[in-house]
Structure 1
């Protein structure tokens, strides 16, 4: 039980089947052999992860490609509501994310915080991931369980540097509501000012923020 607990809190899946182990090692030949032997492609480990989610955790691009092409479910969630699509977005694993988007990713699916893939991508400064998700059609003004949008998270949890400035620009260009406040009524502009993020403040002001 202790091992299972570690798996859940760390976000790392436990390799409980040969397919999970092959995915973790990026062993495409083993994956193909196992699938030809009719193993269950979306079998779960004790954390609820499929082999594809294990490959996504480790950013094993070749393994993920083999599993996705063979029909693994890109939206299959583990016990903490991570799916290959959501995890790839949150961690900026762009190649895997793009594969999930072309194989049925549910853009409306949400993580354990009630957020879309766009929100943690914005928070963590994954510029190209944010661009990709916006272009895919993820709702830019989705509000998570904390009462935050992608724009608010980019400011509140970001560092105000170049990557987060570019993300704010992308969100503004995508017509994110620059005046959509948090639960306390604090707007993105107010958050930027309180943190001394002058460049982000300029971007927001130019977009009509108040």
Structure 2
């Protein structure tokens, strides 16, 4: 018996049929053509629920015109059979490329696009899938990346310039994609890709953590680029103190030099990144005094680049000069340093201020100059010693008395205690206040 066939879609405005109704003779087959209603530069994507509905009905006469068939399927009843509901999906490389484009993301929701991508892949070759995987990595959608990897995309394939999938993911700063690639077997320990350099430049601590967890962290943080710079250099150049701290925690060499002999401190100073300079000075062994191949220290580089913020110059150089001037009793140098921005209460590696140093050396004129410029008389070093303690320990009576006269407290106690200080030179001095007990001795 002949069978009448009706073809419709859930999106009639998008699709048309050259012959929506047809008649199939017994034991025969037929070819049906579905056409797009309107031409488009881009694939006219369908909603995931778009489908083709096939309905049939028995036709004993074996003959009927289009109008007859139309009336047949228009009239509902048990004579109409719903034979099939076939999802409609566009497939092929051009479709996937469009799905990964920004234009598409503005039209469809991410879940819808993911569904369409998973279907469109079936029309692509293996070579096309690997190429599309790179585009998906750049687009930053982890679900697209997963679908393409599941379809056979090679996570360790490189482009014509030798760049890996993971390098594209790191550059796109998408940690979800990075994790998908690593979980799928992407290799991290490849210095040529400079993964950590890129993450450090963006100050993306989360990326740095993921990469180091899945690779040799020490090698990665100390890897070098074409000019010998490590991720630490890159962090310093960009003022990314968070990345600097991370690299230090991963045993990165903060005193490392590039091929020009420049340390990370040189670069931080050149850019005027004060917070990075402070951190590096706390952790570096010798970078403050390192000279690059141009014969310049970090301080000289900062000045050359016009980074003359007073605190920066104090950290890099003026503080040292002020401490030295205080130790040598060079009052003119003290005044000059302070005028240039040196911090009168700035500390050295032992937390000594210039006043500590002048008091310990017995430099009374330096003490006077420093106090007149705002030096705090009772600041303590990392052992709890004040300038007065230093003067007493070194036996400088005149300096000790001058400090007391300017408010130094005699009853401050150091962390390690002052019982070991030699106070004998002051025992018989008139009006001397003992730093240990604050008691006034009388002659």
TM category, shorter: 0.7 to 0.9
Note the 1:69-108 alignment, pairs <5 A: 69-77=183-191, 81-104=192-215, 105=217, 106-108=220-222
CA RMSD, 1 decimal: 2.2
Between 97-106 and 133-142, report the one with greater CA deviation: 97-106
Conserved 8 A contact 2:221-2:232: no
Q: Which is strand-richer, 1 or 2? A: 2
Consecutive aligned runs of 4 or more in structure 1 exceeding 4 Å deviation: none
Unmatched 5+ stretches in structure 2:
1-129, 320-346, 350-443
Which whole-Å deviations, capped at 9, do the CAs of 1:130-162 have from their partners, x for residues lacking one?
111111111111111222110001112x1x2xx
1:138-149 correspondence runs (5 A): 138-149=252-263
For residue 165 of structure 1, what is the aligned residue in structure 2? 274
Aligned residue in 2 for 1:9: none
2:230 corresponds to 1:127: no
- Greater relative contact order structure (CA < 8 Å, 6+ sep): 1
Please report how far the alpha carbon of residue 38 of structure 1 lies from its aligned counterpart in structure 2 after TM superposition: 4.0
Q: TM-score, normalised by structure 2?
A: 0.39
* Inter-CA distance 127–84: structure 2 relative to 1 (3 Å threshold): same
Deviations along 1:27-53, one digit per CA (max 9) or x if unpaired, are: 212222333344321110122111111
Distance 1:185 1:207 in 2: 25
Residue of structure 2 equivalent to 1:192 = 302
Greater C-alpha radius of gyration: 2
> Residue 183 of structure 1 aligns with which residue?
293
* Counterpart-to-counterpart distance in 1, 2:187 and 2:201: 18
Describe the shift of the 1:134–1:73 C-alpha distance in structure 2 as closer, same or farther (beyond 3 A): same
> By how many angstroms is 1:207 displaced?
4.9
What stretches of structure 1 of length at least 5 have no aligned partner? 1-15
Q: Secondary structure at 1:191's aligned position in 2? A: helix
Question: Secondary structure of 2:255's match?
Answer: coil
What's the offset of the Cα at 1:117?
A: 0.5
How does 1:35-50 map onto structure 2 within 5 Å? 35-50=149-164
Contact 1:121/1:130, CA 8 A, preserved across alignment: yes
Q: Greater share of helix residues, 1 or 2?
A: 1
User: Residue 147 of structure 1: SS of its match in structure 2?
Assistant: coil
How many angstroms does 1:74 deviate by? 2.4
Count of aligned positions: 186
Pair 1:82–1:198, CA change in 2 (3 A): farther
Alignment of 1:23-38 (within 5 A): 23-38=137-152
CA distance in 2, matches of 1:173, 1:134: 11
Query: 1:56 corresponds to which residue?
Result: 170
- CA positional deviation for 1:93: 2.7
Report the CA distance between 1:176 and its aligned residue: 4.1
Q: Secondary structure at the match of 1:40?
A: coil
1:175 and 1:66 map into 2 onto residues whose CA distance is 37
What CA distance in whole angstroms lies between the structure 1 residues aligned with 2:234 and 2:206?
A: 17
| TM-score (structure 1 length as normaliser) | 0.79
